[in-house]
Amino acid sequence: MDIKSNATPKTIYLKDYTPATYRVGHVDLSFALFEDKTIVKSVVQYIRSEGAVSADLVLNGQDQVVTGVEMDGVAFDGYTLTEHQMIIKDAAEKFTLSITSEIDPASNTALEGLYKSQGSYCTQCEAEGFRRITYFQDRPDVLSTFSVRIEGDKSKYPVLLSNGNLIAAGDLEHGRHFTAWSDPFPKPCYLFALVAGNLVRIEDTFQTMSGRQVALHIYVRAGDELQCDHAMQSLKKAMKWDEEKYGREYQLDLFNIVAVSDFNMGAMENTSLNIFNTKLVLAHQETATDTDFYSVEAVIGHEYFHNWTGNRVTCRDWFQLSLKEGLTVFRDQEFSADMNSRAVQRIDDVDQLRRLQFSEDASPLAHAVQPDNFIEISNFYTTTVYEKGAELIRMQHTLLGTDTYRKATDLYFERYDGHAVTCNDFVQCMADASGRDMSQFFLWYKQAGTPTLAASGQYNAAQQQYTLSLTQSQPDTSGQTDKKPLHIPVAVGLLDEHGNETHRTQILEMTAREQSFTFDHVASRPVPSILRGFSAPVKLITDLSDDDLRLLQLKDTDGFNKWESGQTLALRNIERVMADSAADISQFVDDFGVVIEQAVAGAGDKALFARALTLPTIAVIAQTQTVIDPAAIDQARTHILTSIKRAHKDALVRLYDDNANTGAFSVSPAAMGRRALQNIALELLTVTNGTGCATRAKAHYDGANNMTDRVAAMACLTDSTQAERELVFADFYERFKAYQLVVDKWFTLQVMANRPAIFDDFAKLRQHHEFNIKNPNRVRSLYSAFALNNPVQFHHPSGQGYAILRDAIIELNAINPQIASRLVTPLREWKRYAPVLQVQMQSALQAIMDTPNLSNDVFELVSKSLK
Ligand code: ARG
Ligand code: ZN
């Protein structure tokens, strides 16, 4: 019996959480892989939970054909199958249930559960993919040990992997073979993984702090093995870092990473068998940019760190997703900060937060880090849960201090190893280890929206006192009003009028709506450096003058605020030009020249100089506007960039020449910094898109010995109408067409073009034989790159940009709902755009809404966006 439902998708609430009625003792899975189907048999021991409110066993399952069920070894038909469930009413207290079913991985274009990618089988079970493999209580609080047997054709699939330790392997009849695996640590089913394919492996070892040897294997397609060294080095660094910073040791003898080409997300932390998007494993100077190298290190770290924060201690339910994701992002950010430049890391992380998370908070899709409800959990793998979640951990780290924070995480691992817990449990460990009351702090997890923090200072010369008055306010968001004040750590230092630091960083703890903090022994009117290191995820408004900001930009000891002051000055000037195109920006342009000269002089972190010479992007500026008009922002921004180029051309040429590529390629932070600085000089020199610009950019491309420089040159050419553009793009394609990840870059760089030809170009690229709607990386390289990196053309008043995205969402809805719903992001903030754009964005959303057979994923984001 198969009951189809046409009801509107059901909302799931955190308040309705109840423990599972049955515990699972052990799961035994066997997979027989055939070209037309995969036969899955699961043998599961069920034990009724103490205090279970019912004796019904409810299993989740979908997209499979059940061919046999046995209870305690005897054929059994006392179950009911609904569209997505198998229900056994009044089941025994303890029994073993065997279910055999057939699935078709080759036709699984949703890329959840078991699917085929370029000839290999792989799995993605988080969050709810395991139900596409076998009927099971697919929820993270059901933990058990697993044993797995896989069999398949030996020549096609010589590599057969699952979690844990390999316990048997051998040949079978008809050219087939098998492997058997055992994972001794109980885990939820979302951490199950299987891989079968014709892959090559790169090996290394790591000696843990207690002296155990762990074999490290990275599996890729033949030909890609020369691009794995950076990933392997990153893994070893991550393992060491987790031992040193968190005292966490790896528990098994084997750690596998497999790279696959078709993957909905970046990577997945399945126990001892991490599965990665190739984009986050493969890195070679010829084919990967410095940013790619950086991301590989960060994500290899992220997935490895999940071993403790996610796997050993897991989530009770999916409302607790940030328990593992926020914490693990914080851990990977700190790992990257330790491996590279701390200030640059913070700048880049905050920039991303503002671009993506602040915009989520400002949209109808704003939600809390621990949400109250959802329709489709896949939609909650958001920058709020991840990146804002990481900011909440960072604030707790700031409030407790490094040593107490470490005591608190030790307590967390000791208390909860092997358990499925909540964000509340984590924060309670912070409270218990520090003796602090963290109840007000917990509001950060429950209240959505970006708070505003307003700061104003008063100097009292007679008393030699400086008083900083702070006011916090919380915006209303969908379904949440009348929010309470938050517990905000505000890091503040004071500088005197010469820029000397007179008062080192203090953490002011704000708990009320309005609060004043007084500094003593202040000999003259100070310049405060507020929210150092971006100590809280808020929008800061200060009463600092341009001159105060200029002082901070030159003298602040806090690398983040030094950069931030320059960005605030840039924003102020962009707004001046937006209000009046003839506004006087000469002071800003002169100051910019000073920074260029400092960068030329060469003392200091080149990567930091490169950030200082970068104006805020349109997306970041948009977050400071009440009504967003991308074209107007772009015009003002371009006017300033052009003025900078005119005023400082010679200095920029010197900066470019002084930072030219010499000697052998390296990915050291210093070498990356040099490239970043030279490439920002190139960008500034080519803003006017004339013939000289095109010549210069092409020369840069022709002289490049690495992908970073090539991509930088192409980004400078993409808006151009000069002949060099087509020459360079054609050369690039010919050179790299064998590399899928580089072809992705080729698509992206073209659709970023802010020029009238974009819509014709887009149509051609969509028809290009290399475009494949079923490959998520390719979809992102075309559609997400266009909608997010080309704001002026995406928001073209004709509405053509919106139509492109609308059609893609409708097409992908039937192919891959997760990827389709991700594409809704650029439309979610429609209410904030200029009226002529707003109506068109709304009608694009409405057209999607009116499409029959919408997936839950797309339905949820589009319907909520329209509210
Ligand atoms: N846990 C993975 C990570 O962040 C991401 C899994 C994404 N799954 C999903 N259904 N969106 O490392
Ligand atoms: Zn993660």
Whether the per-residue pLDDT at 854 is higher than 80: the answer is: yes
- Interatomic CA distance for residues 566 and 407, integer angstroms: 38
Decide if pLDDT at 5 tops 60: no
Continuous segment of H or E residues that includes residue 858: helix 856-866
Q: Which of 440, 447, 444, 510 is nearest to 482 (CA)?
A: 447
For residues 422-448, give the mean pLDDT. 99
Per-residue pLDDT for 428 more than 70? yes
What confidence tens digit (pLDDT) does each residue in 685-696 have? Answer: 999 999 999 999
Tokens 């000037």, residue located: 573
Q: What is the mean pLDDT of residues 565-569?
A: 98
pLDDT at 7: 66
Atom of ligand 1 nearest to the CA of 265: 7
Provide mean pLDDT across the span 96-119: 98
Ligand 1 midpoint to CA 378 (Å): 8
CA distance 575 to 330: 33
State yes or no: pLDDT of 4 exceeds 60: no
236, 269 in Cβ contact below 8 A?
A: no
Q: What is the pLDDT of residue 445?
A: 99
Q: What residue's CA is closest to ligand 1, atom 8?
A: 126
Measured on CA atoms in the order 663, 667, 668, 674, is the torsion positive or negative? positive
Indicate the top mutation candidate among 268, 296, 304 to test ligand 1's pocket, ranked by most ligand atoms within 8 A of CB.
268
Q: Rounded to the nearest 5 degrees, what angle is found at the Cα of 631, between the Cα atoms of 628 and 637?
A: 95
> Separation of 832 CA from ligand 2 center, angstroms?
31
- What is the distance between the alpha carbons of residues 171 and 151, in angstroms, rounded to a whole number? 9
Task: Provide the CA 229 distance to its chain's centre, in angstroms.
Answer: 23
Residue 767, both tokens: 């028809």
Question: Does position 167 have pLDDT exceeding 80, yes or no?
Answer: yes
- pLDDT at 3 (0 to 100): 40
Cα 334 to the center of its chain, rounded Å: 15
Convert the pLDDT of each residue in 62-79 to its tens digit: 999 999 999 999 999 999
Separation CA 510–CA 531 (nearest Å): 12
Alpha carbon of 500 to ligand 2 centroid (Å): 41
Residues whose beta carbons lie less than 5 angstroms from ion ligand 2? 325, 328
- 667, pLDDT greater than 80: yes
Match 């010919």 to its residue by tokens. Answer: 734
**Cα–Cα distance for residue pair 759/130, rounded to 1 Å:** 41
Tens digits of residue pLDDT in 737-783: 999 999 999 999 999 999 999 999 999 999 999 999 999 999 999 99
Distances (CA, A) of 85 to 3, 25, 135, 630: 10, 21, 8, 47
Ligand 1 atom nearest to CA at 386: 4
Q: Quick check: 817 pLDDT over 60?
A: yes
- On whether the CB atoms of residues 583 and 577 are closer than 8 A, the answer is yes
Which of 122, 124, 126 has most ligand 1 atoms within 8 Å of its beta carbon, as the pocket-test mutant? 126
Helix%, strand%, coil% for the chain, nearest 5: 45, 20, 35
Q: Is 288 helix (H, G, I), strand (E, B) or coil?
A: coil
- Decide whether any atom of ligand 1 lies within 6 Å of the 126 Cβ: yes
Active site residues: 303
Q: What is the DSSP string of 380-431?
A: G-SHIIIIIHHHHHHHHHHHH-HHHHHHHHHHHHHHHTT-EE-HHHHHHHHH
Q: Average of pLDDT values for 698-709?
A: 97
Q: Establish whether residue 269 lines the binding site of ligand 1, counting it when its CB lies within 6 angstroms of any ligand atom.
A: yes
Average pLDDT along the chain: 97
Tens of pLDDT, residues 218-252:
999 999 999 999 999 999 999 999 999 999 999 99
pLDDT of residue 240: 99
| Position 422 confidence tier, pLDDT thresholds 50, 70, 90 | very high
Q: Determine whether the shortest distance from the Cβ of 125 to ligand 1 is under 6 A.
A: no
Rounded average pLDDT over 606-616: 98
Ligand 1: nearest atom to the Cα of 129: 10
Question: Average pLDDT in the 494-521 region?
Answer: 98
Enter the ipTM.
Answer: 0.97
DSSP-derived 3-state class of residue 70: strand
Query: Given phi > 0 = left and psi -120 to 50 = alpha, else beta, which region is 851?
Result: beta
Ligand 1 in contact with 381 (CB < 6 A)? yes
pLDDT over 50 at 1, yes or no? no
**Helix (H, G, I), strand (E, B), or coil: what is residue 337?**
helix
265 lines ligand 1 (CB under 6 A): yes
Cβ atoms of 259 and 273 within 8 Å: the answer is: no
Q: For residues 457-482, give the mean pLDDT.
A: 98
3-state secondary structure 774-826: CCHHHHHHHHHHHHHHCHHHHCCCCCHHHHHHHHHHHHHHCCCHHHHHHCCHH
Beta strand segments in 488-579, E: 488-495, 501-510, 514-519, 527-530, 539-542
How large is the average pLDDT for residues 525-535?
A: 98
End-to-end CA distance of the chain: 37
On whether the CB atoms of residues 589 and 644 are closer than 8 A, the answer is yes
Ligand 1 contact via 267 beta carbon (within 6 Å): yes
Ligand 1 atom closest to residue 112's alpha carbon, by position in its atom list: 10
Give the CA dihedral 394, 342, 709, 786, nearest 10 degrees: 20
CB 230 within 8 A of CB 195: no
pLDDT of residue 531: 98
Regarding the beta carbon of 127 and ligand 1, being less than 6 Å apart is answered yes
